[in-house]
């Protein structure tokens, strides 16, 4: 699979700078790459320049935080115009909500006697629980990031604060009005029952959503098949993305991420890409 349409950099909660991400993707054999940081497009320019220099096809993108029926879900925008005024305004709003949530988490940790994590809010990129988790690890409160999330930053933890993000419909509208395609990211990761997942996909499709992320890291053939059928049922295209955050493993190494199941309409059929990119998949 030479496409990777879901990746992160230091501008959100990834480990690599945009140019390093692009170089890494190129080494891994990716030919068409989208950068989709959480709630920011600040890494897109650097990544686009690096991709041009290395001969990769680059797709400017973003992964937006959405609250749907009290639950956080993620919508990826692909091929968005990062200069679009509505999108820029929306991202500013989401980042401000992230800062407010961050402040509430930091305060809760302080009240719980875990120390002063205010420095984690002072970043050039977005404020994310990941950076607070890393602080908890550095302070010796947790063994690793996963434990920090589990013990402190998810439901039941002293530092758990519910995020209130954007609405599903308005999020899809922002992406479409910025000229992009809207993709429901990692649909199986919300741990929804079959019925509720169907409800989410239906709401997404009715809002004008474009595609489901049918291939992402860690899915088995059965799960991908179910997502492919859901996409077909709601007349949605299918996307592919590793959700790369850090080096090792790059899951979209050729052969690393599986191909789309039979019968899927790849989202890139909607784009005009050079012929080599069409041929390899
Ligand atoms: P936020 O968007 O600030 O709420 O942080 C969510 C991000 O944290 C996700 O995009 C993942 O990259 C990461 N994440 C979520 N859950 C975990 C976990 N249990 N362990 C490690 N990272 C996680
Ligand atoms: Mn993330
Ligand atoms: Mn996500
Ligand atoms: Mn992601």
Q: For strand 3-4 and strand 237-241, is the pairing parallel, antiparallel, or unpaired? A: unpaired
**Which ligand is located closest to the Cα atom of residue 99?**
1
pLDDT attached to residue 280: 46
All structural domains of the chain with their residue ranges: 3-91+168-280, 93-153
Q: How far is CA 181 from the centre of its chain?
A: 14
Name the residue at shortest CA distance from atom 2 of ligand 1.
Answer: 128
| Pocket flag, ligand 1, residue 151 (CB < 6 Å) | no
User: 98 is written with which tokens?
Assistant: 């992230």
| Pocket flag, ligand 1, residue 7 (CB < 6 Å) | no
**Which ligand is located closest to the Cα atom of residue 4?**
4
What is the reported pTM? 0.96
| Pocket flag, ligand 1, residue 186 (CB < 6 Å) | no
What does the pLDDT look like over 30-72, one tens digit per residue?
Answer: 999 999 999 999 999 999 999 999 999 999 999 999 999 999 9
Closest ligand 1 atom, CA of 63? 10
Query: Residue 260 in contact with residue 269, Cβ under 8 Å?
Result: no
Q: Give 18 Cα–ligand 2 centroid separation in angstroms.
A: 15
Using CB atoms within 10 A of its CB, is residue 103 exposed (0-12), middle (13-18) or buried (19+)?
middle
List 181's β-bridge partners, or say none. Answer: 78
Cα diameter, the chain: 59
pLDDT attached to residue 223: 97
pLDDT attached to residue 1: 62
Using only C-alpha atoms, the chain has a radius of gyration, in whole angstroms, of: 18
pLDDT attached to residue 123: 96
**What does the pLDDT profile of the chain (281 residues) look like in tens digits?**
699 999 999 999 999 999 999 999 999 999 999 999 999 999 999 999 999 999 999 999 999 999 999 999 999 999 999 999 999 999 999 999 999 999 999 999 999 999 999 999 999 999 999 999 999 999 999 999 999 999 999 999 999 999 999 999 999 999 999 999 999 999 999 999 999 999 999 999 999 999 999 999 899 999 999 999 999 999 999 999 999 999 977 777 777 789 999 999 999 999 987 765 555 44
What does the pLDDT look like over 192-212, one tens digit per residue?
Answer: 999 999 999 999 999 999 999
As a whole number of angstroms, the distance between CA 59 and CA 280 comes to 17
pLDDT attached to residue 281: 43
Q: Give 280 Cα–ligand 1 centroid separation in angstroms.
A: 32
Hey, what CATH topology would domain 3-91+168-280 get?
Answer: TIM Barrel (3.20.20)
Name the residue at shortest CA distance from atom 8 of ligand 1.
Answer: 130
Write the DSSP string, 143-197.
Answer: SSHHHHIIIIISTTSTT------B-HHHHHHHHHHTT-EEEE--GGGG---HHHH
């Amino acid at each position: 699979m030479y496409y990777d349409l879901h990746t992160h950099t230091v501008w959100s909660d990834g480990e690599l700078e945009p140019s390093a991400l692009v170089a890494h993707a190129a080494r891994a054999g990716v030919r068409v790459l989208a950068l989709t940081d959480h709630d920011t497009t600040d890494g897109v320019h650097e990544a686009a320049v690096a991709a041009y220099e290395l001969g990769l096809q680059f797709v400017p993108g973003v992964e937006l935080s959405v609250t749907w029926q009290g639950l956080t879900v993620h919508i990826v925008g692909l091929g968005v115009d990062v200069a679009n005024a509505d999108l820029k305004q929306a991202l500013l709003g989401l980042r401000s909500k992230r800062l407010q949530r961050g402040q509430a988490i930091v305060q809760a940790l302080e009240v719980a006697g875990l120390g002063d994590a205010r420095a984690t809010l002072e970043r050039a990129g977005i404020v994310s629980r990941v950076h607070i988790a890393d602080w908890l690890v550095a302070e010796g409160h947790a063994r690793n990031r996963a434990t920090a999330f589990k013990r402190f930053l998810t439901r039941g933890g002293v530092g758990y604060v519910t995020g209130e993000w954007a609405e599903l419909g308005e999020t899809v509208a922002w992406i479409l009005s910025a000229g992009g395609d809207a993709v429901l990211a990692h649909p199986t990761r919300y741990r929804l029952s079959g019925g509720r997942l169907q409800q989410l996909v239906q709401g997404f499709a009715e809002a004008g959503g474009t595609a489901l992320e049918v291939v992402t890291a860690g899915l088995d053939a059965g799960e991908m098949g179910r997502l492919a059928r859901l996409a077909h049922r709601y007349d949605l295209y299918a996307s592919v993305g590793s959700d790369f955050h850090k080096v090792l493993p790059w899951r979209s190494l050729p052969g690393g991420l599986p191909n789309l199941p039979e019968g899927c309409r790849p989202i890139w059929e909607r784009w005009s890409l050079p012929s080599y990119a069409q041929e390899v998949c």
